[in-house]
Amino acid sequence: MKIFLVDDDPSLRSFVERWLTSLDRHELWIFDEAASAIDALPEQSPCLVLSDLDMPGLSGEELAQAAARLPRPPRVVLMSGDHDRLERARGLAEATLQKPFSFGELLSLIETRDTDRAC
């Protein structure tokens, strides 16, 4: 499954990359800001976008909105350590993930399949 990971925190990107790479069943694209991910969305057509909400420049909310406008929108999971902001963004994503989270929590969201998508 092609996954976009978008987060400005290098330690979180490293954590997620290490674990998902070890599974050897996902194609992981890593971005440190939302604008680059938005630019890559139409051409790369990810199955899942896993994005932080609070980043310099464009936010995770803006990324989720851009993904929703695609002809075949990917699943979106938004992450944040700010519980209130996560609650406000809930309508923009299939799921939300409160930071810090465990790999098990992340994996259960990633492994959830949408039968309408060929991923």
Q: Class assignment of domain 2-111?
A: alpha beta
**Which pLDDT value is given to residue 6?**
98
Assess whether pLDDT exceeds 80 at residue 117: no
Angle at 4 between CA 112 and CA 39, to 5 degrees: 135
**Which pLDDT value is given to residue 115?**
44
Mind listing the pLDDT tens digit for each residue in 31-76?
Answer: 999 999 999 999 999 999 999 999 999 999 999 999 999 999 999 9
DSSP state of 73: P
Average pLDDT, the chain: 92
How do the domains of the chain map onto residue ranges?
2-111
Assess whether pLDDT exceeds 70 at residue 119: no
Mean pLDDT value of segment 6-31: 93
